[in-house]
Amino acid sequence: MTIAKHVADLATQQSERLVFFTLAQLCIIILAARLAGSFAARIAQATVVGEIIAGILLGPSLFGWIMPVPFHWVFHSTPSGPLDVLSQLGLILLMFQVGLEFDFSHLKEKANRRVVLWIAMASLLLPFATGLGVGFMSAPQLSPEANRWVSALFVATAFSITAVPVLGRIMMELGITKSRLGVIAISAAAINDVVGWLLLALVTAMALAQFQFPLFLAKVFFVLLFVLAWFFFVRPLMKWAVRHFDAEHGISATFLGIVLVSIFISGMITSALGIFTIFGGFIMGVILYDEHAFAKLWQERVAPFVLVFFLPIFFTYTGLRTNITALDGVGLWIWCGLILILATISKVAGVYVAARISGLNHHQGKIIGVMMNTRALMELIVINVGYDMGAISVNVFTMLVIMAIVSTIITTPLLRRWLPHVHGQHGGALLLKY
């Protein structure tokens, strides 16, 4: 009995210690994210930019560098398991919200359809090809322990992605969500993200199948089967539940429980299929994209908690993995600069050319290109998946984090500078607005 009691007391102490440090980490993370987000808004940046940078600064790049002892005491006194779990849980809920925000009705406009499809294709194909080349050439030097093709595919996917939630928030701040240019950009970004997530799922399946073609085809088949099952069977059930629980006018505790369980089961299934839990959350959101009243209630009542509590945890967890000071050689910084320049040029130039071909003018092409270059959150999700799988090294991870931050930081200032040129042109305002 004495030994059993001693073991129980020890377990209780360890549990209390874990809870104590987890709560300390959450206090620091949430406060830092709020302060950084508020500061970013004051200097005309998107709030999410400040939150991302706060996460990086709380990691070894700054906090761990200038105050190593407090840093290790706060973030390494206990295992990082709770922070990891909360980060992944937040991502599942966030990806549900991303899917819920998609509005495919924009593509019904005949005047926009051709432009949107041209821009969506250009924003995917040229960056993917560029990233594939960069990833394949750099893999032996930067990620020598990873499979060369898997590493290249993850870098290519990271080059291709556009962050719809962040772009949407920037557009709302600038008041261009209802403009023709805004509709084109968000529609193209939505297509980009749908294809990007499918691409991430395929690349992940391919990597886990270790390039065994029959196993890869089996994984692709089951992923397609999952998507079809969710659209043809789960979607009608969820839409019935929305009506039954009157979720268009209020989200009851019972219905919220049903939604959360559905999101988690969806994530569990995609995890079992080998394409990570976040894809399951995303698909759950997509199948309810046209439930606008429910989506609005979710954004008003549930989304703020996800954005204030869970999202900063993900940014900080990414920051704890990012060590800018580890890029301590000239060669590494050259590679970092090359990745940043090529990722930006391939995205902006590809979209600009597509915009001009489809009938937009010079200034509109520039604006669309910069908007589609906004990567931020989605980029961080992709590279975290790649890092977890061992497809990219910590150095490549850090370089892609820097690229994600820079591509997002430059968006708002450039749009504020260029948008007046569009409005000021003869007929520009008519072309921009419906």
Render pLDDT for 37-51 as a digit per residue (tens, 0 to 9).
Answer: 888 888 877 777 788
Reduce the secondary structure of 104-164 to three states and give it as a string.
HHHHHCHHHHHHHHHHHHHHHHHHHHHHHHHHHHHHHHHCCCCCHHHHHHHHHHHHHCCCH
Q: To the nearest whole number, what is the mean pLDDT of the chain?
A: 82
For 330-367, b/e burial (b = at least 16 CB within 10 A) is eebeebbeebbebbbebbbbbbbbbbeebebeebbbbb
How high is the pLDDT of residue 418?
85
DSSP assignment string, 5-56? HHHHHHHHHHHHHHHHHHHHHHHHHHHHHHHHHHHHHHTT--HHHHHHHHHH
Contact 277/88 with Cβ under 8 angstroms?
yes
d(CA 427, CA 433): 10
Q: How many CB atoms lie within 10 A of CB 99?
A: 24
Least confident of 17-31, 62-76, 140-154, 412-426: 412-426
- Confidence bin at 102 (pLDDT 50/70/90): low
Q: How confident is the model at residue 428, as a pLDDT?
A: 43
| CA separation for the pair 33, 48 (Å, rounded) | 9
- Note the pLDDT of residue 104: 59
Q: 166 vs 50, 170, 266, 366, 378, CA distance in Å? A: 12, 6, 24, 18, 9
Q: Decide if pLDDT at 163 tops 80.
A: no
Contact 105, 169 (CB under 8 A): no
32-41, 194-203, 358-367: range with lowest mean pLDDT: 194-203
pLDDT at residue 58 tops 60 = yes
Per-residue confidence band for 424, with pLDDT thresholds at 50, 70 and 90? low
To 5 degrees, how large is the angle CA 265–CA 386–CA 337? 145
Asked if residue 109 has pLDDT above 70, the reply is no
pLDDT of residue 216: 66
Judged by DSSP in three states, 68 sits in helix
- The domains of the chain are located at 2-75, 81-432
Domain 81-432 fold: Na+/H+ antiporter like fold (1.20.1530)
Distance of alpha carbon 269 from alpha carbon 233, whole angstroms = 15
pLDDT category of residue 429 using cuts at 50, 70 and 90: very low
Instruction: Tell me the pTM.
Output: 0.75
Which one of 224-233, 312-321, 422-431 scores highest in mean pLDDT?
224-233
Taking 70 as the threshold, does the pLDDT of residue 147 lie above it? yes
pLDDT of residue 180: 75
Distance from C-alpha of 136 to C-alpha of 336, rounded to nearest angstrom: 15
Cα(14)–Cα(122) distance, integer angstroms: 53
**426 has a pLDDT exceeding 70:** no
Q: Which of 135, 74, 282, 142 lies closest to 198 in space, CA to CA? A: 282
Cβ 360 vs Cβ 119: under 8 Å: no
Q: How far apart are the first and last CA of the chain?
A: 78
Identify the pLDDT of residue 431: 42
Asked if pLDDT for residue 386 goes beyond 70, the answer is yes
pLDDT value at 103 more than 70:
no
- The reported pLDDT for the residue numbered 430 is 37
Q: What pLDDT does 19 receive? A: 87
What does the alpha-carbon distance between residue 391 and residue 397 come to, in Å, rounded to a whole number? 10
**What local confidence, expressed as pLDDT, does residue 320 receive?**
78
pLDDT bin (cut points 50, 70, 90) of residue 342 is: very high
At 410, give phi and psi (nearest 5°). Answer: -75, -15
Is residue 310 over pLDDT 70? Answer: yes
Q: Is the pLDDT of residue 337 over 90?
A: yes
Q: Please, which pLDDT band fits residue 434 given cuts at 50, 70 and 90?
A: very low
DSSP 324: G
Between 56-60, 114-118, 164-168, the lowest mean confidence (pLDDT) is in: 164-168
CA distances from 277 to 142, 211, 245, 282, 419 (A): 28, 22, 27, 9, 39
What residue spans of 245-329 are helical by DSSP H? Answer: 253-273, 277-286, 292-301, 303-305, 311-321
**pLDDT at residue 335 greater than cutoff 90:** yes
% the chain with pLDDT above 90: 15
> pLDDT at position 230, please?
92
Q: Does 391 have pLDDT greater than 60?
A: yes
Structure tokens at 301: 């009542």
pLDDT confidence of residue 338? 94
Q: pLDDT tens across 230-283, in order?
A: 999 999 999 999 888 887 777 888 888 999 999 999 989 988 876 677 778 888
